[in-house]
């Protein structure tokens, strides 16, 4: 992501919050044998958005997880350094009375804010302020629609197996960093 108008992507900041702790207590979602916790359950969606946009392997991760007296993680604070130099800070909150999400992508010359869950809104800013009607190109659709269209041969997949590998490495690094309380470097295969 990035071009001459936007410049290089330098920093991504995002958060996702849900009222997850109490409603899921006693369910499979809070059973460590069946679930990885909120970072895996819902947090993976915002992390997928991050991986798909940055399009770079991950170099290092530092993460904190809070179980909030649950057998699995409920809140997380994740810092990521991608191999291309892009930095990211993601917060995932599962003990919040209100659902919400937000991601900001800071480029050299622009900032983009999006709804990372459904893609329901976008704001684009330049040095003068918000661009009232930003140009948005490409076909607008949900990821599962693209998946079905790709299977039917009606569209090319918008993501690749490499994104899945990067996502898997990221999830492993998050839990390893939280377990060891140290930065985790990702060693490429």
pLDDT of residue 3: 67
Query: Per the domain annotation, does 87 fall within a domain?
Result: yes
Query: Per the domain annotation, does 47 fall within a domain?
Result: yes
What CATH number did the domain enclosing 77 receive?
Answer: 3.30.360.10
Mean pLDDT of 43-68: 94
Query: Per the domain annotation, does 22 fall within a domain?
Result: yes
Q: How far apart are CA 180 and CA 78, in angstroms?
A: 14
Query: Per the domain annotation, does 1 fall within a domain?
Result: no
Q: How far apart are CA 125 and CA 133, in angstroms?
A: 10
Query: Per the domain annotation, does 75 fall within a domain?
Result: yes
Is the pLDDT at 138 greater than 90? The verdict is no
Query: Per the domain annotation, does 135 fall within a domain?
Result: yes
Spell out the SS3 assignment of the chain. CCCCCCCCEEEEEEEEEEECHHHHCCCHHHCCCCCCEHHHHCHHHHHHHHHHHHCCCEEEEEEEEECCCCCCECEEEEEEEECCCCEEEEEEECEEEEEEEEEEEEECCCEEEECCCCCCCEEEEECCEEECCCCCCCCCCCHHHHHHHHHCCCCCCCCCHHHHHHHHHHHHHHHHHHHHCCCEECCCC
Q: How far apart are CA 30 and CA 160, in angstroms?
A: 30
Query: Per the domain annotation, does 100 fall within a domain?
Result: yes
pLDDT of residue 146: 83
- Convert the pLDDT of each residue in 1-31 to its tens digit: 556 789 999 999 999 999 999 999 999 999 9
**How buried is residue 159: exposed, middle or buried, by Cβ count under 10 Å (0-12/13-18/19+)?**
middle
Among 87-96, 112-121, 149-158, 160-169, top mean pLDDT goes to 87-96
pLDDT of residue 128: 95
Which positions ≥6 away from 74 have C-beta within 8 Å? 20, 21, 37, 38, 66, 67, 68, 93, 94, 95
- Convert the pLDDT of each residue in 88-137 to its tens digit: 999 999 999 988 899 999 999 999 998 877 777 889 999 999 999 888 77
Predicted model pTM: 0.89
**Domain extent at residue 110:** 9-178
What's the domain count of the chain?
Answer: 1
Q: How far apart are CA 143 and CA 148, in angstroms?
A: 9
pLDDT of residue 1: 53
Query: Per the domain annotation, does 184 fall within a domain?
Result: no
């Amino acid at each position: 992501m990035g071009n001459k108008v936007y410049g290089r992507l330098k920093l991504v900041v995002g958060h996702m919050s849900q009222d997850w702790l109490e409603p899921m207590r006693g369910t499979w979602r809070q059973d460590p044998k069946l679930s990885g916790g909120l970072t895996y359950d819902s947090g993976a969606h915002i992390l997928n958005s991050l991986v798909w946009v940055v399009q770079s392997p991950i170099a290092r991760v530092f993460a904190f997880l809070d179980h909030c007296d649950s057998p699995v993680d409920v809140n997380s604070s994740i810092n990521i350094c991608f191999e291309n130099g892009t930095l990211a800070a993601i917060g995932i909150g599962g003990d919040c009375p209100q659902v919400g999400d937000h991601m900001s992508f800071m480029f050299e010359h622009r900032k983009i804010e999006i709804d990372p869950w459904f893609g329901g809104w976008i704001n684009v800013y330049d040095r003068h302020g918000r661009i009232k009607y930003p140009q948005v190109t490409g076909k607008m659709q949900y990821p599962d629609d693209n998946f079905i269209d790709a299977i039917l041969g009606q569209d090319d997949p918008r993501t690749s197996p490499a994104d899945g590998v990067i996502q898997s490495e990221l999830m492993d690094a998050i839990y390893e960093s939280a377990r060891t309380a140290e930065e985790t470097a990702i060693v490429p295969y």
